[in-house]
Amino acid sequence: MEAENDIASVHATDPEIILQAAIFEIITTEVENLSIPAWVFQELGLVVENRNFDYESMLFDSGEEIDFYGPGASVPDITKLETRLWFFYLAASYIDIGIEAIHLGQLNWVSQADTDYANLEDLIAHIRSYASQNARRNYVILDAHTHGIVRDGNLLLDFHSYPLRIVEVEGSPMETTLQVGYHDSIYLNSKGGTAPSGWYADSLPYLVEFDHGYGRGSVEENVGPEFVWGYDEISWFSLLIESARNDFLYFAWDWVRNTDPNGHLEMPGMRPTFINTLPHQPDWYYANSASSAVPDGYNQEKTIKDIWTQDTAISCTVLNIYGEDTEEVELLRYVRDNVLSHTPEGRELIKLYYQWSPAIVKVMEKDAGFKEEVKELIEGILPMIR
């Protein structure tokens, strides 16, 4: 009831806001404290039973992922009817209180036994059917941590989500960059197909976020590809000085958009941090400006607002001059990712470029002569790097 009242309050302020909830890849024995409502069975076309959810009936027969999160806390198997009953119950309950978007966690993980995704497709069809009759605008937006789940040419999700996969710069503690093809990153690798709303995409739009939920608690190099100097992504980010955090947001926002037009950076509003060796470190990162209302704010609020007010589709100087998918743009991207990003001086040049590009583009749009001068400057450099 409290959540429903809060949601109603938000929508009273702005009815266009879309609020998202999440169904993650975890179940615990506490599910057995909940009785299964009759409408859950009915919506899935099943005979109504008078019973509670059954934890054991959601587990993988192979024994994989059992107690993965600790005793009595496991990854569920989507091929199990009990798991689908649970996921549908949660999704429908969210929809009933005004939620219009649901993040489904690591779907490939819970679907590892669902080799053709038939069971997952069936679950999602029931969720969408329920939303068509009960959601505020008769639709629910679904996403998950995946490069894409496609069945018979049809995408099961409305957009994809994935961690940023921040890359450590070897030998320079806490220094980082981004890179296409690093580990399992999604850049240029979001699957395409026919979207649930009926349109076709060669590559479905996606968000990249600051991952969280793990860490070693000290600065260590090469712990693993998911780690950033021994921390999860948001914990690493929170440990940077304020100006470095702001610089990284500018860099990541433009790098993602200019590297893959289908990619978008999800800003870190608030996220839990895991920094075990710093007892006085706040347990949460807040992007808010520090104030009496949010004393632990990390002061990225203004930077995020400034980034969002820019027209990022044209904020890149090179793209504005040459356009997407041109030889010049591809060459300069190659130099950025394979040369400049590997040295401190090069990374500083990249940050300065993205910091000043929006202002340069605005001047070019008003002054054709200035745009021609910038183009001549770039073309004077191109022969030296070809």
Decide if pLDDT at 168 tops 70.
yes
Share of the chain above pLDDT 70, in %: 95
Decide if pLDDT at 218 tops 70.
no
Residues 6+ apart with CB under 8 A from 9: none
For residue range 64-74, what is the model confidence (pLDDT) as tens digits? Answer: 999 999 999 99
Q: How many residues are present in the chain? A: 386
Joined tokens for residue 214: 């793990």
Decide if pLDDT at 141 tops 90.
yes
E strand segments, the chain: 20-22, 27-28, 73-74, 101-103, 141-145, 150-151, 154-155, 159-163, 167-168, 176-177, 193-194, 200-201, 206-209, 263-265, 270-272, 284-286
For residue range 63-107, what is the model confidence (pLDDT) as tens digits? Answer: 999 999 999 999 999 999 999 999 999 999 999 999 999 999 999
Contact 184, 208 (CB under 8 A): no
pLDDT range class, residue 248, cuts 50, 70, 90 = very high
Q: Report helix, strand or coil for 99.
A: coil
- Angstrom distances, CA of residue 36 to CA of 18, 53, 98: 28, 6, 21
Share of the chain above pLDDT 90, in %: 70
Q: Which of 377, 245, 250 is nearest to 316 (CA)?
A: 250
Amino acid identity for residue 375 in this structure: K
pLDDT range class, residue 307, cuts 50, 70, 90 = confident
Domain boundaries, the chain: 2-312, 313-386
Joined tokens for residue 155: 């995408």
